[in-house]
């Protein structure tokens, strides 16, 4: 069954790309042996905009890149005119936005071809204007940035047939002097600045500019998870889903796990679930376990231990990613991007109250520390205290994250950052047996709030991180990036009672105990990247060379096993003493990994792009049994490739295909005969379509075939007990559709659908054809909001969300299923100046459902009806 699906994906890819590549080859042949990089198409000139106003909205479907041959800055009585000289200004498209004091204009269908190079910069061109810069953002876009000294500059756009595209700029003070009645809105709000109709130096009429804020709304056009560079999603030949900060704010999520319900096809796979409020999360996507990193770097097992108050956005690269981030599971890589310092003062406080005794407060402070704004800071801190419907449960999380950025020069900056999380949990969730929850039980239904442990159980986890990022620009085309982080993780608990088996009466749960459990480890990660842009003839390259070095030290892992009293699930009696010690363990160890990688993003033409990459990793590990005083060691190495192609027949559409692999070191060293095991391998074939439906709305459709091989399974030979063989195989294939952005002014949408067919393909323990656990065949998520744009109710908004997950197997034996569920969320919010108030309803109709299962004794109920009220103030 595996081959027809893979043939389908290959044939689909060939069907899409073969005619396109043949067309490119034919065009190249018609010009001799030259490679054609600019292929103009016939465009009806009557449909082209020749006014500056329409430059903001036109969408020209041709491959002609307009050459900007000169950038001038002329002084005017109001400030300056920034002139992009060209005779084809009518063919340009302009998107504008703001970020702090920066006015940003992306001019599409254009490139700088200046005598001095491909960048223009001028300092202090006029009073109140700090800098003017123009650079080639990518092979099809110029980015113009004008920075004001006291605030966001006032900008007017002119279309001059004689000179080109003209931006008339006045300082914030000058603009306020002309229009004292106009208030400066906050950066995240749309800014409408209409100036008096006075001609500029070019003599042309100005038009109204609509400047969007520093946030990208529900659509994020760029991500770093796919290439380790800031690359448009449309140019990456692999599916990437991004949850922007605005979605997290509108939904008022209180944990990372809760945020991940927005990712199409993702399911939770760890203990607890979204309703615990914990900052740790384990997940599956495309049927397999996923990995978590922070700002592009792994940080040990606590990579996802980040409180949501410090999250700027969440990126998920779906499928294998070992070529970029080293060893890991093939399901996908979650990159958590944290908040960074701002150039302008920003202060915000937030308070949330909810049922189940939910209390949460957060403070976000940022701004410059000196007058020149070369030293910036940001400080995020929060505190969460909440209960769950499970008896005796309470979770408290304190978090603080300081960040300091120093712009050493125009070409060099250094960022120092740290964070600390202290999480205390009383009576952590342990799950319930399947019989009595998702399966029949002759004694009836087990109450979903039942706690199967002992009420005096407490656990505490502390995570500290420190690190830096150094970036240096050697020239316009070459840059260097170096980053380091160190993570210190401590986890302790005592007197934990765990499920052992359900007795024949189906109401008595036999338990065993764990005492004096400690897990202490340190993780260190260092990475260095060299990024260069150059051309070989007409072909453009963005080359990435990198090296990763990491070490994880398990300082101490200890525990004591004891007997524990049984518990009646329908009439529990707590407080009975634990029994005798049955076993002890104490271990330590370390793992060292070194990786080298190279990646080339190749623009064969403006609309045909390749992504080529490869990585070599070598690792060694040592494990020590401190009680037996024995030591064992192991080493492995692996090479992982990645190939992809993107073709853009018209600018808004990207057709792509890719091949990628992953590896995970084996869990044990060798088989009965002494043969060393190979790393587990993940291999993915993917084809898809990415579409920018508008400048604010995008969609991705992906088809994939993902396999996992070299899985260890027990050796079936009775003489080889306690040994493994490496024959296991699993595969997942499916379809995913994602849509995000703004459909109409004020109406935002974030949603998707996933079909996942995940099965066992080879095993000597589980039947071939069994479904992979915690993986629904169908899932659907939708979150949409509408905010009134005008009138007396301006700022009032409403949101609604729908989340569907079909039934899925609870274990690999396929002995029970978690039933399907459909939940509804809703929100009401109101923004007035610096004040925002919000009311969120989660699981509005109080549907009983189950998040995940770890075994037939550990099934975890989902979040019941929850209401949260939030008030925030920015100043």
Residues 863 and 844: their CA atoms lie apart, in Å, by 11
User: Would the CA dihedral through 225, 230, 232, 237 be positive or negative?
Assistant: negative
Q: pLDDT tens digit string along 746-801?
A: 999 999 999 999 999 999 899 999 999 999 999 999 999 999 988 899 999 999 99
pLDDT at residue 335 greater than cutoff 70: yes
Q: What is the pLDDT of residue 301?
A: 60
Sequence-distant (≥ 6) Cβ neighbours of residue 288 within 8 angstroms: 329, 330, 331, 682, 706, 708, 730, 732, 758, 772
Question: For residue 174, what pLDDT band results from cuts at 50, 70 and 90?
Answer: low
Q: What is the pLDDT of residue 616?
A: 95
C-beta of residue 658 within 8 angstroms of C-beta of residue 237: yes
Q: What is the pLDDT of residue 194?
A: 32
The secondary element (H helix, E strand) that includes residue 25 is helix 2-30
Question: For residue 509, what pLDDT band results from cuts at 50, 70 and 90?
Answer: very high
Q: What is the pLDDT of residue 603?
A: 93
C-beta of residue 457 within 8 angstroms of C-beta of residue 511: no
C-beta of residue 82 within 8 angstroms of C-beta of residue 146: yes
Question: For residue 533, what pLDDT band results from cuts at 50, 70 and 90?
Answer: very high
More confident residue, 653 or 99: 653
pTM for the whole structure = 0.77
Question: For residue 44, what pLDDT band results from cuts at 50, 70 and 90?
Answer: very low
Looking at every residue in the chain, the average pLDDT score rounds to: 84
pLDDT at residue 48 greater than cutoff 80: no
Q: What angle do CA 168, 170, 171 make, to 5 degrees?
A: 150
The secondary element (H helix, E strand) that includes residue 54 is helix 52-55
The secondary element (H helix, E strand) that includes residue 22 is helix 2-30
Q: pLDDT tens digit string along 341-363?
A: 998 899 999 999 999 899 999 99
Half-sphere exposure of 222 (CA within 13 A, CB side): 9
CATH of domain 58-211: 2.60.40.3500
Question: For residue 8, what pLDDT band results from cuts at 50, 70 and 90?
Answer: very low
Question: For residue 201, what pLDDT band results from cuts at 50, 70 and 90?
Answer: very low
Q: Residue 46 — φ and ψ, nearest 5°? A: -70, -20
CA nearest neighbour of 320 among 330, 312, 328: 330
CA nearest neighbour of 816 among 508, 440, 451: 440
Q: Candidates 1.25.40.10, 2.40.170.20, 1.20.1440.230, 3.40.1390.40; correct CATH number of 338-874?
A: 2.40.170.20
Q: What is the pLDDT of residue 216?
A: 54
Q: Beta-carbon neighbour count of residue 874 at 10 Å? A: 16
C-beta of residue 168 within 8 angstroms of C-beta of residue 198: no
Q: pLDDT tens digit string along 96-130?
A: 887 767 888 888 888 888 877 778 888 888 888 88
Residues 221 and 813: their CA atoms lie apart, in Å, by 42
Question: For residue 230, what pLDDT band results from cuts at 50, 70 and 90?
Answer: confident
Q: pLDDT tens digit string along 371-407?
A: 988 999 999 999 999 988 888 888 899 999 999 999 9
pLDDT at residue 598 greater than cutoff 80: yes
Q: What is the pLDDT of residue 787?
A: 95
Pairing of strands 110-112, 66-68: parallel
Q: What is the pLDDT of residue 213?
A: 38
- Ranges of each domain in the chain: 1-36, 58-211, 222-337, 338-874
Q: Which strands make up the sheet holding 288-289, listed edge to edge?
A: 266-268, 283-285, 288-289
Q: pLDDT tens digit string along 677-726?
A: 888 999 999 999 999 998 889 999 999 999 999 998 888 888 888 888 88
More confident residue, 663 or 175: 663
Q: What is the pLDDT of residue 99?
A: 73
Q: Residue 90 — φ and ψ, nearest 5°? A: -70, -15
Residues 262 and 334: their CA atoms lie apart, in Å, by 13
Q: pLDDT tens digit string along 254-266?
A: 888 889 999 999 9
Q: What is the pLDDT of residue 714?
A: 87
Q: What's 65's DSSP letter?
A: P
Q: What angle do CA 110, 113, 119 make, to 5 degrees?
A: 90
The secondary element (H helix, E strand) that includes residue 562 is strand 539-568
Residues 760 and 707: their CA atoms lie apart, in Å, by 10
Sequence-distant (≥ 6) Cβ neighbours of residue 285 within 8 angstroms: 263, 265, 266, 267, 316, 318, 331, 332
C-beta of residue 286 within 8 angstroms of C-beta of residue 265: yes
C-beta of residue 128 within 8 angstroms of C-beta of residue 149: yes
Ranking 24-38, 286-300, 439-453 by mean pLDDT, the lowest is 24-38
**222-337, superfamily in CATH?**
TonB-dependent receptor, plug domain (2.170.130.10)
Question: What is the DSSP code string of 777-816?
Answer: SEEEEEEEEEE--SSTTTTEEEEEEEEEE--EESSTT---
Q: What is the pLDDT of residue 635?
A: 83
495 Ramachandran zone, left/alpha/beta (phi>0; psi -120 to 50): left
Tokens for 334, please give them. 């979650």
Q: pLDDT tens digit string along 15-38?
A: 444 444 444 444 443 333 333 233
Ranking 58-72, 310-324, 631-645 by mean pLDDT, the lowest is 58-72
User: Would the CA dihedral through 235, 241, 245, 249 be positive or negative?
Assistant: positive
Pairing of strands 680-694, 858-861: unpaired
C-beta of residue 850 within 8 angstroms of C-beta of residue 862: yes
Residues 333 and 290: their CA atoms lie apart, in Å, by 6
| Three-state secondary-structure class, residue 301 | strand
Q: pLDDT tens digit string along 142-171?
A: 999 998 877 788 888 876 666 788 898 887
């Amino acid at each position: 069954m595996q081959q027809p699906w893979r043939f389908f994906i290959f044939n689909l890819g060939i069907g899409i790309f073969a005619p396109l590549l043949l067309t490119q080859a034919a065009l190249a042949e018609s010009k001799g042996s030259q490679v054609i990089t600019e292929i103009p198409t016939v465009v009806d000139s009557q449909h082209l905009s020749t006014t500056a106003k329409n430059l903001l909205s036109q969408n020209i479907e041709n491959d002609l890149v307009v050459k900007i041959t000169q950038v001038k800055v002329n002084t005017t009585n109001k400030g300056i005119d920034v002139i992009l000289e060209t005779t084809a200004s009518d063919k340009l498209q302009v998107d504008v936005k703001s970020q702090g004091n920066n006015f940003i204009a992306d001019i599409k269908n254009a490139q700088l071809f200046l005598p001095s190079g491909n960048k223009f910069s001028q300092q202090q061109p006029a009073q109140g204007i700090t800098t003017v810069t123009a650079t080639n953002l990518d092979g099809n876009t110029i980015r113009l940035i004008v920075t004001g000294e006291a605030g966001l500059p006032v900008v007017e756009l002119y279309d001059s047939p004689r000179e080109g595209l003209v931006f008339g700029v006045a300082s914030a003070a000058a603009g306020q002097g002309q229009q004292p009645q106009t208030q400066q809105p906050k950066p995240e709000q749309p800014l409408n600045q209409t100036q008096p109709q006075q001609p500029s130096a070019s003599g042309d009429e100005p038009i109204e500019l609509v400047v969007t804020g520093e946030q990208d709304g529900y659509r994020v056009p760029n991500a770093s998870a796919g290439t380790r560079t800031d690359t448009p999603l449309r140019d990456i030949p692999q599916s990437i889903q991004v949850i922007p900060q605005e979605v997290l704010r509108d939904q008022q999520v209180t944990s990372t796990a809760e945020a991940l319900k927005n990712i199409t096809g993702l399911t939770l796979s760890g203990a607890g679930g979204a309703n615990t409020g914990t900052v740790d999360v384990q997940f599956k996507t495309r049927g397999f376990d996923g990995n978590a990193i922070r700002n592009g770097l792994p940080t040990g097992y606590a990579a996802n231990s980040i409180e949501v108050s410090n999250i700027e956005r969440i990126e998920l690269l779906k499928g294998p990613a070992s070529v970029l981030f080293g060893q890991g599971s093939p399901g996908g890589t979650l990159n958590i991007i944290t908040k960074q310092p701002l150039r302008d003062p920003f202060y915000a406080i937030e308070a949330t109250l909810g049922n189940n005794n939910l209390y949460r407060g957060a403070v976000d402070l940022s701004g410059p520390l000196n007058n020149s704004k070369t030293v910036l800071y940001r400080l995020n801190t929060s505190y969460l205290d909440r209960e769950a419907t499970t008896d005796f449960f309470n979770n408290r999380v304190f978090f603080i994250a300081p960040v300091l950025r120093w712009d050493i020069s125009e070409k060099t900056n250094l960022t120092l950052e740290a964070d600390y999380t202290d999480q205390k949990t009383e009576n952590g969730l342990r799950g319930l047996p399947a019989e009595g929850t998702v399966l029949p039980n002759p004694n009836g239904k087990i109450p979903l709030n039942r706690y199967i442990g002992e009420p005096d159980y407490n656990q505490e986890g502390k995570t500290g991180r420190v690190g830096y990022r150094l970036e240096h620009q050697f020239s316009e085309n070459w840059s260097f990036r170096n980053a380091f982080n160190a993570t210190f993780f401590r986890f302790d608990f005592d007197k934990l009672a765990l499920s052992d088996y359900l007795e024949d009466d189906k109401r008595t749960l036999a338990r065993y105990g764990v005492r004096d459990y400690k897990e202490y480890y340190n993780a260190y990660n260092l990475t260095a990247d060299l990024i260069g842009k150059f051309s070989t003839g007409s072909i453009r390259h963005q080359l990435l060379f990198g090296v990763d070095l990491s070490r994880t030290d398990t300082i101490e892992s200890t525990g004591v096993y004891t007997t524990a009293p049984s518990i009646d699930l329908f009439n529990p009696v707590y407080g009975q003493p634990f029994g005798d010690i049955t076993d002890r363990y104490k271990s330590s160890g370390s793992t060292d990994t070194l990786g080298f990688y190279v990646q080339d993003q190749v623009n064969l033409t403006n609309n045909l792009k390749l992504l080529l990459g490869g990585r070599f990793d070598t690792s060694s590990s040592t494990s020590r049994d401190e009680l037996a005083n024995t030591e064992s060691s192991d080493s492995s190495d692996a090479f992982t490739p990645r190939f992809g192609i993107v073709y853009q027949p018209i600018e808004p559409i990207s057709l792509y295909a890719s091949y990628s692999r992953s590896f995970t070191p084996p869990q044990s060293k060798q088989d009965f005969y002494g043969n060393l095991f190979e790393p587990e391998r993940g291999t993915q074939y993917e084809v898809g379509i990415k579409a920018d439906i508008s400048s604010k709305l995008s969609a991705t459709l992906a088809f994939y075939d993902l396999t996992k091989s070299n899985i260890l399974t027990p050796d079936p030979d009775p003489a080889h007990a306690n040994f493994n063989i490496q024959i296991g195989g699993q595969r997942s294939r499916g379809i995913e559709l994602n849509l995000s952005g703004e459909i109409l002014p004020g109406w935002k949408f974030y949603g998707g659908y996933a079909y996942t067919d995940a099965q066992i393909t080879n095993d000597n323990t589980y039947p071939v054809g069994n479904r992979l656990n915690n993986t629904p065949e169908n899932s659907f998520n939708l979150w949409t909001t509408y905010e009134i744009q005008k009138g007396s109710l301006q700022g009032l908004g409403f949101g609604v969300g729908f989340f569907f997950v079909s039934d899925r197997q609870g274990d690999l034996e396929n002995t029970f299923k978690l039933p399907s569920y459909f939940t509804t969320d809703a929100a009401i919010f109101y923004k007035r100046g610096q004040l925002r108030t919000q009311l969120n309803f989660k699981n509005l109709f109080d549907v009983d459902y189950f998040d995940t299962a770890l075994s037939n004794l550990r099934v975890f109920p989902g979040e019941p009806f929850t209401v949260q009220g939030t008030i925030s103030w920015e100043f």
